[in-house]
Amino acid sequence: PRSEWELDPTKIAIGRRLAVGGFGEVFLAKYEGTLVAVKRLLATDSDTAQRFVDEVHMLARLRHPNLLLFMGYTLTPEPSIVTEFMARGSLFHILRHAGNRPPDPRMQRAVAMSVARGMAYLHSRAPPILHLDLKSPNVLVDDRWRVKIADFGLSRVRQRTYVSSGAAAGSPEWMAPEVLRCDHYAEAADVYSYGVILWELLTGQAPWADLNAMQVSKTPCSNGCKFWKTSF
């Protein structure tokens, strides 16, 4: 990471923990009087460390109203990424809190347009950037109901007409079939994930709610995907 983005950790006052995942935990904090979110790395293996470096490099080059604002990083006491704080949390959390009921049409349109704009910005870079982890848990909402895409730890720069990966990473419930199969993929993989988010907005439900991640990854989608078993 470039040193110009490195922040003084003594100026960051860590507060309550907001979330925890496989790669790290997120805290509410204050940086020079401003509320921020701090994502701390938990794992210490080389792959996770490289993912941290890649995410910092990616975030430092991106600026768009519908992408989470990157403010900097720290290396001590643990490698951490500092971003703006999104007070209302994720779209996934908002839908669960609403009892799996779809939001009103105005919010549906606002979220759909905001995510589309953020995705289009990424895909319009030269070369294009693929997010590869678009999902409702990574769609965040602030206290003024502004919507932004977060978590660029899996993002890739497409140098050729496609990206080829030997292993799939991310959340199977939102992943395009070609990514799950570790085939060649391009911007359409993000568009598929965006389609799942649209389905969530229209139904209020979580995709593949009756299956675990391993079962989802083995579910063929070549003839069209059905994200639920029962009618709604």
pLDDT tens for 117-129 read 999 999 999 999 9
Which of 133, 142, 183, 210 does the annotation list as catalytic? 133
Give the pLDDT mean for 91-103: 95
What whole-number distance in Å separates Cα of residue 184 and Cα of residue 164? 5
Q: What is residue 17's predicted lDDT score, i.e. its pLDDT?
A: 96
Percent of the chain with pLDDT over 90: 61
CATH code reported for the domain at 89-217: 1.10.510.10
pTM given for the model: 0.87
pLDDT tens digits for 157-216?
A: 765 554 445 445 678 899 998 888 888 889 999 999 999 999 999 999 999 888 777 787
Does domain 3-84 fall under CATH 3.40.1280.10? My reply is: no
- Provide the 3-class DSSP secondary structure of residue 23: coil
Give exposure, 45-62, as e/b (b: 16+ Cβ within 10 Å). eeebeebbebbbebbeeb
Domain boundaries, the chain: 3-84, 89-217
Report the phi/psi class of residue 80: left, alpha or beta, with left for phi > 0 and alpha for psi in -120 to 50. beta
The 10s digit of each residue's pLDDT in 9-23 is 999 999 999 998 767
Average pLDDT for the chain: 87
**Cα separations in angstroms, 146 against 65, 140, 152, 161, 213:** 9, 8, 19, 33, 30
Whole-number percent of the chain with pLDDT over 70: 88
45 is catalytic: no
